[in-house]
């Protein structure tokens, strides 16, 4: 048995099986399926082929180590994909300070059947250590080595050529890592990611103010005048913002076993402005990305979390602008202050105070899942609000409705769902618990005289139920979850409660990037000269258009995702040409935002 051929064959088969059963990647036609089969092979040949230049036991041990390393890389992606439907990036691996808090989530994602991904590695190790006589030990001639690498190189070019015919400008226009992996393979994707990481590091050093001027002209040309009736209507009032962990819009006004899932929020939207076409736009940074969108009206990065990778950049945040207008600013979150690098990033965003885990009385009784229960968190936070200078801006980050959605039986106000997905089943009781926590918090605000003098903003930070649970979601919603339906599931609730104004439901296509200008305008603070990609949600001039981080978009008439254009009303696939103008706009805005972050361009900004 030739160990190089055996290692390549085992890894090739294992990778393809992972594509089909763990990543659920399927070609849309015969050529794409052929690309899917082909794309791991060239990398594996080149990597394992280094052993061609070694002999005997040294070769065997090198190939074994290579095989084990690639297996670990593949399995890490499998585990990550199970929850986030995404692939690991280098910036994500740099977020090591988060790992200590991920224990319960990782345990939920690991299955005993995963041992099968390692059986071939164990077999090779056994042969190398105990039965080396069964492995071919002879050397390779120069022509054999040359032929081996010529074949590997030819496969690389064949793969890229075929991929380019299926996805033109694949490496320059694609924001979706799933599409990249389908076309160039998991391992080449990681090499490409390493190239992007190196490129990003160089961008700051080469940046200059001219790029910012060009971007500023673009954003100001698309500025929309605020609603004249609502501009400044909340001037001088407190701003209380609540991030609803993992809450998606499909739970609003829905019932489970005849009981409302969010009874308080259902009522609260009747006395607030409720936006039912509001989308999250987060990437790998999840909650931290939603915070970044809120504060800066910039898109997060497609790789990693801005809170980690660019926390030292210069920003001109909503928080800083509120401070300039006399606001005391604070963030409250009963978690480790270093999680998502918040203790550093909040300094860059100019928060006056961060109330973190050490500021709360945390016990075994008031803790579940990722940390302090929402009811206790809000209750203890009231004392901090009472002592703050007025007016204040506070941001609350809830925690109970966080994957893996754990809740003690005595805290369940609604029964679990029954489906093939334990994640979705547990989701409903934790959503219901957070709904109750919001209700009690608002009652406390009223008791303390804070309710009538404050704007309350509640918004979902990101999805809670990933694509891996589409079968169960289809069961709950009573329809199959197609790519079109998946985009609609990226809607998250947004409530804006203004004292003395009844509000109503607004069906305006919008996203988290629109929060900064909207809230500042309600407080009477102009943003016309600011560099931001969002638009006031109440503006009568606003366009019906929002971009997701992967390049998908939603407009008044179309939804675009995964390379397909859909009629928004019917969900029917139509000619891509209808979406082309919006595709270019989406690409432009994402690229401009990336340039600002990678180049730290706001250091050149003059207010």
C-alpha 115/C-alpha 154 separation (Å) is 34
Predicted confidence (pLDDT) at residue 397 exceeds the cutoff of 60? yes
Place of tokens 């007025």: 390
C-alpha 28/C-alpha 117 separation (Å) is 26
Mean pLDDT of 368-378: 92
Element (H, E) at 276: none
> pLDDT (tens digit, 9 = 90+) per residue, 187-197?
988 888 888 77
User: DSSP 3-state assignment of 314?
Assistant: coil
- Please name which of 604, 511, 508, 507 lies closest in space to residue 297, comparing C-alpha atoms: 511
Predicted confidence (pLDDT) at residue 87 exceeds the cutoff of 90? no
**Where in the chain do CATH 3.40.720.10 domains reside?**
225-533
Mean pLDDT of 277-300: 96
Compute the mean pLDDT over every residue in the chain, rounded to the nearest whole number.
Answer: 90
CATH dotted code for 225-533:
3.40.720.10
C-alpha 577/C-alpha 586 separation (Å) is 15
> pLDDT (tens digit, 9 = 90+) per residue, 548-601?
999 999 999 999 998 999 999 999 999 999 999 999 999 999 999 999 999 999
Q: Are 507 and 542 in contact (CB under 8 A)?
A: no
Predicted confidence (pLDDT) at residue 447 exceeds the cutoff of 90? yes
Mean pLDDT of 491-509: 95
Place of tokens 């005993």: 112
pLDDT given for residue 24 in this prediction: 83
Mean pLDDT of 101-120: 77
User: DSSP 3-state assignment of 32?
Assistant: helix
C-alpha 281/C-alpha 510 separation (Å) is 10
pLDDT given for residue 95 in this prediction: 61
Place of tokens 């899942």: 369
pLDDT given for residue 449 in this prediction: 96
C-alpha 354/C-alpha 395 separation (Å) is 10
Report the length, in residues, of the chain: 607
- Peptide bond preceding 444 in cis form (omega within 30 of 0): no
C-alpha 459/C-alpha 275 separation (Å) is 10
DSSP-assigned states of every residue in 534-601: ---TT-TT--SEEE-TTS-EEESSEEEETTEEEETTT--EE-GGGTHHHHHHHHHHHHHHHHHHHTTG
Cα atoms in the Cβ-side hemisphere of radius 13 Å centred on 489: 20
The set of long-range contacts for 468-476, using a CB threshold of 8 Å and a minimum separation of 24, is 468/81, 468/82, 468/83, 468/85, 469/421, 469/423, 469/424, 471/419, 471/420, 471/421, 472/417, 472/419, 472/420, 472/421, 472/423, 472/424, 472/425, 473/421, 473/424, 475/419, 475/420, 476/417, 476/419, 476/424
234: confidence class by pLDDT, cuts 50, 70, 90: very high
CA distances from 175 to 170, 171, 550, 562 (A): 9, 9, 5, 10
Mean pLDDT of 334-353: 91
Place of tokens 């090779």: 124
Q: Are 558 and 565 in contact (CB under 8 A)?
A: yes
Mean pLDDT of 118-128: 90
User: DSSP 3-state assignment of 326?
Assistant: coil
The burial of 205, by beta-carbon neighbours within 10 Å (0-12 exposed, 13-18 middle, 19 or more buried), is given as: exposed
Which segment of 73-77, 108-112, 243-247, 423-427 scores lowest on mean pLDDT?
Answer: 108-112
- Please name which of 38, 522, 449 lies closest in space to residue 273, comparing C-alpha atoms: 522
Mean pLDDT of 153-169: 83
80: confidence class by pLDDT, cuts 50, 70, 90: confident
C-alpha 264/C-alpha 553 separation (Å) is 31
Token pair recorded at residue 378? 């809000």
Return the higher-pLDDT residue of 267 and 208.
267
Q: Are 7 and 66 in contact (CB under 8 A)?
A: yes
C-alpha 62/C-alpha 55 separation (Å) is 10
C-alpha 333/C-alpha 399 separation (Å) is 8
Helix, strand and coil content of the chain, in percent to the nearest 5, comes to 55, 10, 35
Of all residues in the chain, the percent with pLDDT exceeding 90 is: 66
Q: Are 511 and 299 in contact (CB under 8 A)?
A: no
C-alpha 427/C-alpha 229 separation (Å) is 40
Mean pLDDT of 233-240: 97
User: DSSP 3-state assignment of 495?
Assistant: strand
C-alpha 343/C-alpha 197 separation (Å) is 24
Mean pLDDT of 253-263: 96
Mean pLDDT of 280-285: 94
C-alpha 235/C-alpha 326 separation (Å) is 11
Return the higher-pLDDT residue of 138 and 455.
455
User: DSSP 3-state assignment of 98?
Assistant: helix
Predicted confidence (pLDDT) at residue 98 exceeds the cutoff of 60? no
Q: Which residues are CB-neighbours of 71 under 8 A, at least 6 positions away? A: 11, 14, 117, 118, 120, 121
- Top-confidence range, 22-36, 308-322, 428-442: 428-442
Active site residue 329: no
Predicted confidence (pLDDT) at residue 338 exceeds the cutoff of 70? yes
Number of Cβ within 10 Å of residue 426's Cβ equals 20
SS (H, E, C) 329-380: EEEECCCCCCHHHHHHHHHHCCCCEEECHHHCCCCCCCEECCEECHHHHHHH
Q: Catalytic residue among 121, 287, 394, 535, which?
A: 287
Predicted confidence (pLDDT) at residue 433 exceeds the cutoff of 90? yes
Mean pLDDT of 236-259: 97
Element (H, E) at 255: strand 255-256
Q: Which residues are CB-neighbours of 311 under 8 A, at least 6 positions away? A: 341, 344, 345, 348
Q: Are 440 and 375 in contact (CB under 8 A)?
A: yes
Say which DSSP state 81 is in. H
- Please name which of 332, 335, 337 lies closest in space to residue 381, comparing C-alpha atoms: 332
Predicted confidence (pLDDT) at residue 381 exceeds the cutoff of 60? yes
pLDDT given for residue 549 in this prediction: 95
C-alpha 439/C-alpha 268 separation (Å) is 9
Which segment of 165-174, 215-224, 383-392 scores lowest on mean pLDDT?
Answer: 165-174
């Amino acid at each position: 048995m030739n160990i190089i051929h055996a290692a390549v064959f085992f890894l090739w088969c294992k990778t393809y099986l992972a594509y089909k059963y763990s990543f659920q990647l399927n070609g849309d036609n015969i050529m794409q399926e052929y690309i899917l089969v082909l794309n791991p092979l060239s990398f594996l040949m080149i990597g394992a082929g280094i052993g061609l230049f070694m002999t005997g036991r040294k070769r065997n041990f090198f190939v074994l180590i290579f095989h084990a390393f690639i297996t670990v890389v593949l399995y890490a992606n499998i585990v990550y994909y199970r929850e986030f439907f995404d692939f690991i990036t280098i910036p994500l691996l740099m977020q090591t300070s988060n790992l200590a808090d991920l224990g319960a989530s990782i345990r939920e994602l690991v299955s005993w059947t995963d041992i099968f991904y390692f059986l071939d590695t164990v077999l090779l190790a056994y042969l190398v250590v105990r039965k080396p006589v069964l492995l071919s030990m002879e050397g390779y001639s120069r022509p054999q080595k040359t032929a081996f690498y010529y074949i590997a190189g030819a496969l690389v070019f064949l793969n890229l050529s075929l991929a380019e015919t299926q996805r033109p400008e694949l490496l320059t226009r694609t924001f979706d890592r799933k599409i990249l992996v389908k076309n160039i393979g998991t391992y080449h994707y990681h090499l490409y990611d390493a190239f992007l990481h190196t490129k990003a590091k160089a961008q700051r050093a080469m940046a200059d103010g001219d790029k910012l001027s060009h971007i500023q002209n673009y954003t100001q040309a698309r500025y929309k005048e605020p609603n004249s009736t609502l501009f400044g209507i909340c001037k001088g009032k407190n701003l209380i913002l609540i991030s609803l962990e993992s809450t998606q819009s499909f739970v609003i006004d829905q019932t489970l076993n005849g009981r409302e899932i969010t009874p308080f929020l259902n009522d609260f939207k009747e006395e607030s402005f409720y936006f039912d076409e509001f989308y999250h736009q987060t990437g790998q940074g999840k909650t931290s990305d939603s915070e970044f969108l809120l504060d800066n009206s910039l898109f997060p990065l497609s790789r990693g979390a801005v809170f980690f990778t660019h926390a030292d950049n210069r920003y001109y945040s909503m928080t800083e602008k509120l401070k300039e207008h006399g606001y005391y600013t604070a963030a409250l979150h009963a978690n480790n202050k270093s999680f998502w690098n918040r203790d550093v990033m909040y300094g860059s965003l100019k928060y006056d105070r961060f109330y973190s885990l050490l500021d709360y009385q945390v016990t075994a009784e008031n803790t579940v899942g990722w940390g302090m229960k929402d009811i206790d968190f809000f209750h203890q936070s009231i004392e901090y609000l009472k002592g703050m200078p007025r007016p204040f801006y506070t941001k609350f980050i809830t925690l109970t409705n966080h994957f893996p959605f754990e809740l003690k039986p005595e805290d369940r106000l609604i029964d679990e769902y029954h489906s093939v997905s334990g994640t979705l089943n547990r989701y409903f009781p934790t959503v219901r618990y957070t709904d109750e926590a919001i209700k009690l918090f608002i009652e406390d605000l009223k008791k303390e005289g804070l309710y009538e003098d404050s704007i309350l903003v509640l918004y979902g930070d990101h999805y809670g139920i990933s694509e891996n649970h589409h079968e169960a979601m289809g069961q709950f919603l009573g329809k199959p979850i197609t790519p079109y339906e998946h985009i609609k599931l990226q809607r998250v609730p947004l409530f804006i409660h203004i004292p003395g104004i009844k509000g109503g439901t607004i069906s305006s296509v919008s996203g988290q990037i629109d929060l900064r200008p909207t809230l500042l305008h309600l407080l009477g603070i102009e943003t016309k000269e600011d560099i931001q990609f969002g638009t006031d949600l109440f503006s009568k001039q606003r366009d019906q258009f929002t971009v997701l981080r992967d390049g998908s978009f939603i407009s008044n008439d179309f939804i675009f995702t995964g390379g397909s254009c859909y009629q928004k009303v019917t969900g029917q696939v139509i000619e891509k040409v209808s979406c082309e103008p919006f595709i270019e706009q989406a690409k432009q805005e994402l690229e401009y935002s990336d340039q600002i972050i990678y180049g730290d361009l706001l250091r050149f900004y003059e207010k």
